Amino acid sequence: MTRVALITGGASGIGRRAVKAFADAGYAVAAADISRGGVAQSVDGLAGKHLACAADISDETQVASLFETVERDLGPVAVLLNFAGIMVTPGVGQRPSIISSELADWERTFAVNTRGTFLCLREMMRHRTRKPVAYSRIINISSSAAQLGGHNGSAAYIASKGAILSLTKIAAREAAPLGLTVNCIAPGVIETPLLRSVMPPEADEAYCKNIPLARIGSPDDITAAALFLASPQAGYITGSCIDVNGGIRMQ
Ligand SMILES: NC(=O)c1ccc[n+]([C@@H]2O[C@H](COP(=O)([O-])OP(=O)(O)OC[C@H]3O[C@@H](n4cnc5c(N)ncnc54)[C@H](O)[C@@H]3O)[C@@H](O)[C@H]2O)c1
C-alpha cells in the first residue's frame, strides 16, 4: 500500500523540496501550508495522487480538519513532516535584541513554530492510536540556532526551536508503544526564502569560513535526512536529533 506523507510548510523552501522528494520516492504526499497558491504549485506536475491543503498549523480546528481531509482522500498518514516555521525580523540582516523584542512577535513565533508542531504531532498521535500504521514516523525541524544560540535568529525563534528539541523527546517516549518514532532534524544555514529574510547573499562568504564543509546547505541536504528517518531502516532511532549543518556545530 502507498505510504502517505503529510508535509507542513510544503509551499516553500525545505518543505517544497520535500514534497517533490517524497513524491519521487513513491509516497502519496499531502502538502499543507498557509499559502494555498504555494502548495498548489508544489504538487503541480508531480506524478501520482497528491493533495495540496491550505491550513494554518497554529489553529487547532484547522489541524484537526487537515488530518481528516488527508486521511479521507489519501489514507492514514505514515509520515508527518513538521516543516512549517517562521522567523519574524525587522529586516534582512537585522535581528531584534531581547530588549527591543515585541511580545506580539514572540507570541506569533511560538504560535506557529511550537504550538503548530505540537498540534500536528498530537493529531498524528491521536490518529495512529486509533489506527496504527507500520513504521510510522514524525519528523520535526529544529535549528542549529537553537543549539548554538545562533546569531541571526531572534530570541523568540531560537527558544521556539529549542522547545521542539524537548517536545521531540517526550513525544518519542509516548509514541513508542504505537510503533511510531519521533525525531528531529536541526539544519544549519539552508538556501531558502526564510534564510534570505535574515541573511543577505553578501554575508555568505564570511559565514562559510566558519562552516567546515564551507558552503550554505541546500534543501536536498535536509530532505535526504528526512527520507532516511522515514525509512524502515531508521526503525531503531527515536527521540534523536540529526544535525545537518556542514559541521558548524559538532556535538
Ligand atoms: N532555511 C534555514 O536556514 C533553516 C535553518 C534551520 C531551520 N529551518 C527550519 O526549516 C523549516 C522550513 O524553513 P524554510 O527555510 O524552508 O522556510 P520557508 O519560509 O521557505 O518555508 C516555510 C513555510 O512555512 C509556511 N508557514 C508559515 N506559517 C505557517 C502556518 N501558520 N501554517 C502553515 N504553514 C505556515 C510558509 O508559508 C512557508 O511556505 C522551518 O521550520 C525553519 O525554521 C530553516
Q: Which of 86, 114, 189 to mutate to test the pocket of ligand 1 (most atoms within 8 A of CB)?
A: 86
Which residues fall within 8 angstroms of residue 75, CB to CB, at 6 or more apart? 1, 2, 4, 28
Ligand 1 contacts (CB < 6 A) are 8-9, 11-15, 33-35, 38, 56-58, 83-86, 112, 116, 141, 143, 187, 189-190, 192-195
Cβ–Cβ < 8 Å for 54, 48: no
Render pLDDT for 82-98 as a digit per residue (tens, 0 to 9).
999 999 988 887 888 99
DSSP 89: -
Is 166 within a domain? yes
Is 251 within a domain? no
Q: Which residue has the higher pLDDT, 92 or 66?
A: 66
The enclosing H or E element of 129 equals: helix 116-130
> How remote is the C-alpha of 239 from its chain's centroid?
15
Render pLDDT for 153-207 as a digit per residue (tens, 0 to 9).
899 999 999 999 999 999 999 999 999 999 999 999 999 999 999 899 999 999 9
Put simply, whether the predicted model's pTM sits higher than 0.85 gets the answer yes
Check pLDDT > 80 for residue 1. Answer: yes
Q: Which atom of ligand 1 is nearest to the CA of 222?
A: 10
Domain that holds residue 69: 4-244
| Predicted pLDDT at 149 | 92
The sign of the CA dihedral 69, 71, 73, 74 is: positive
Report the range of poorest mean pLDDT among 26-30, 88-92, 237-241.
88-92
Render pLDDT for 147-163 as a digit per residue (tens, 0 to 9).
999 878 899 999 999 99
| Predicted pLDDT at 194 | 94
Is 16 within a domain? yes
Is 134 within a domain? yes
The count of structural domains within the chain is 1
Atom 2 in ligand 1: which residue has the minimum CA distance?
A: 190
Residues marked as catalytic: 157
Is 185 within a domain? yes
Q: Which three cell numbers stand for residue 57?
A: 498549523
CATH number, domain of 116, equals 3.40.50.720
